[in-house]
Structure 1
């Protein structure tokens, strides 16, 4: 009887056996072109593309956009050169560029050039060339990224000063450029000139709300890359309208309060010598004020930090009067930098990339409902008052004290 029951149980389980093979649809990693990063540029064929076209590789297309995939290679970098008897260092990545009018079609074309199909589920960075972003609304060419489930929403988005694909080429072979860009974002605790990351998911929210925003800018030179300010994308047009330099981007992060670390360079007004105030902690508030049809804002800033470097000679570094004076100069310089950047954002670009609209919507919802359809224009006319307070808590390795300075309003 027991044996019969066991046989019936085995027979009942047999139809379920195929379902237990959990990897029936697996794709071997070695058979795929794993994508580390993607670069988008206005149509600009590479030498390889031109050579292939010249030799007969043609298709019906209109050259509008170039897409570059940076993929891992099977080499881990380093090793014995084949047949050479010596060591040779190989790149850990390879770049494939296709130019056409539709991104998905161009992606499929790459399968005609490599034995391994493109697999983008693990890509980390997307870099957009400035020429493409100036001439084409970002909503147009980003459509594929949101329709195709293979593109991960956590990938970070950047803008290049020049060709985006050039940022995917570095000197040496040890590092994958798309990954270096990603890791550079982690240095935000050292500098105010690095924006909080903008992911594909966050970008979609900005595009849907038609809000103006900033993208971290990257520049290539001498075989190296560097974060170099930010690109300003206008909410209504969806196009790049210009750039902020590194100092101006630093001022933006000081206004928003997205500061994990950084420095303020200023001069001692009595001696003209340069000093450096290092931010240890930071807080910023944007307060809207509405009087009839007049909208204005107040930016209140408070920072604690150290006097990390001083070129002022013949002064006692621990003297209260000296430290208070330096705190005053740091606060004045901070306010001056912010006002200059606001002038550019409001008058030249007419784009609220800072988030004043959010504060107005929260604190004055009725006013926001009236002006939201023309907010960038309203913002360009709004008065913004800036008040900074610095607190010097450290002045070197040999001691610490608290010296506070609040810069008088309007000074």
Structure 2
């Protein structure tokens, strides 16, 4: 072998050794504290944030001695600072391990913070390579975020994971909420309209909900439930959309996957339950005499799942009556939602973005005063409802009352 060839081989070996030397920034698992949820509150009478971290407790999930210690599945630590990043670093004074955010599922905002404004809160999420843009976001309805993160939940050992699943489940089958993540909020803040964020509420005794003994009962003394859809204007929470207003909002946003509508029969109020399993909303916006006209067309399909009175569903005319009632109920809820938004002068329905996309010239004439113009807009709604099935029976087993 020549000297030149030997030198080339040595250089190649040296390069291989360099590449196989391992990750320079690797971190051992037992040096990390996995953050499953983050809560952000505004400290009263200051300009500081209180940031709360829900950490996975490795001792409670280990298969060694720690599993029999009865420790809770999570540990909660908090820190305050003028910036979120400062609070994140300051938490090192209380945490025995370095905070690790790759598995963060949830971000909760306290109601006081939401009312003061959230436009600047998520800047750190967009800049940081550690924080996740797909983490779900909720608002603590009537409380602070720290309290929500401290409540232990049954079934799911990690409360943050349970809240995310609860959000996904209720948005899929009930229709008053939808899964909203950090990226959705950033897009809403930077878009032409306003935004909505799901609310969660603590029910029961908050202090008891923080104890593991709360889980040793068939009915817990504190629980967290989905409650309302927070409506924002200029980045500030101004109103809670609930019940039919919340569902009407989801209809306008074309976010209904499934929902249940109770409609009247001939002799009883809200006695027929129809499960809507398909819904599609199309929106077109025209500008007439300087004001927008919102053309909303909704097509929905459902199944009759329950009747609490005698209805002969073998007759086509009875089916048509139910379809008409479905259309009326849907129109009513959409109108309620739009009226609430117009009273706030808050376009939480993405209508401004739709006008900008389809009619840039029309939008250019209205964008400087869109809130005022949106509030004066007119709704033109058309709903087509179809009942595709009556389940396993055409007639209820109870007889027609005389």
**TM bucket, shorter chain:** 0.7 to 0.9
- 1:66 maps onto 2:50 in alignment: yes
Question: What is the aligned partner in structure 2 of residue 395 from structure 1?
Answer: 390
SS at match of 1:150: coil
Query: For residues 269 and 54 of structure 2, what CA distance do their matches in structure 1 show?
Result: 49
Question: What is the aligned partner in structure 2 of residue 232 from structure 1?
Answer: 231
**Where does 1:2-401 land on structure 2 (aligned, <5 Å)?**
8=7, 10-16=9-15, 17-43=17-43, 64-77=48-61, 87-135=68-116, 137-161=117-141, 162-168=143-149, 169-172=151-154, 175-187=157-169, 188-195=171-178, 197-209=179-191, 211-222=193-204, 223-234=222-233, 237-313=234-310, 315-347=311-343, 349-398=344-393
Call closer, same or farther: CA 1:394–1:288 in 2, change over 3 Å: same
Call closer, same or farther: CA 1:80–1:115 in 2, change over 3 Å: closer
SS at match of 2:88: helix
Call closer, same or farther: CA 1:213–1:319 in 2, change over 3 Å: same
Query: For residues 183 and 47 of structure 2, what CA distance do their matches in structure 1 show?
Result: 28
- 1:359-403 per-residue CA deviation (whole Å, 9 max, x = no partner) reads 322333211111012112111111112221211110012479xxx
**Can you give the 5+ residue segments of structure 1 that lack an aligned partner in the other structure?**
45-60, 401-411
Whether the aligned pair in 2 keeps the contact of 1:167 and 1:220 (CA below 8 Å) is: yes
Query: For residues 273 and 240 of structure 1, what CA distance do their matches in structure 2 show?
Result: 33
What is the CA distance between 1:9 and its match in structure 2? 5.4
Call closer, same or farther: CA 1:156–1:64 in 2, change over 3 Å: same
Call closer, same or farther: CA 1:141–1:363 in 2, change over 3 Å: closer
Query: For residues 246 and 90 of structure 1, what CA distance do their matches in structure 2 show?
Result: 38
What is the CA distance between 1:176 and its match in structure 2? 0.9
Query: For residues 294 and 153 of structure 2, what CA distance do their matches in structure 1 show?
Result: 47
Call closer, same or farther: CA 1:32–1:326 in 2, change over 3 Å: same
Call closer, same or farther: CA 1:65–1:303 in 2, change over 3 Å: same
SS at match of 1:360: helix
Query: For residues 131 and 227 of structure 2, what CA distance do their matches in structure 1 show?
Result: 27
What is the CA distance between 1:25 and its match in structure 2? 2.2
Query: For residues 172 and 184 of structure 1, what CA distance do their matches in structure 2 show?
Result: 12
Query: For residues 373 and 270 of structure 2, what CA distance do their matches in structure 1 show?
Result: 41
Call closer, same or farther: CA 1:382–1:163 in 2, change over 3 Å: same
SS at match of 2:96: coil
Scaled by the length of structure 1, the TM-score of the pair is: 0.83
What is the CA distance between 1:130 and its match in structure 2? 1.0
What is the CA distance between 1:210 and its match in structure 2? 5.2
What is the CA distance between 1:174 and its match in structure 2? 5.0
Query: For residues 328 and 78 of structure 1, what CA distance do their matches in structure 2 show?
Result: 58
What is the CA distance between 1:144 and its match in structure 2? 2.5
Call closer, same or farther: CA 1:174–1:380 in 2, change over 3 Å: closer
SS at match of 1:75: helix
Query: For residues 42 and 266 of structure 1, what CA distance do their matches in structure 2 show?
Result: 43
What is the CA distance between 1:115 and its match in structure 2? 2.0
SS at match of 1:144: helix
Query: For residues 366 and 79 of structure 1, what CA distance do their matches in structure 2 show?
Result: 65
SS at match of 1:141: coil
Query: For residues 124 and 391 of structure 1, what CA distance do their matches in structure 2 show?
Result: 38
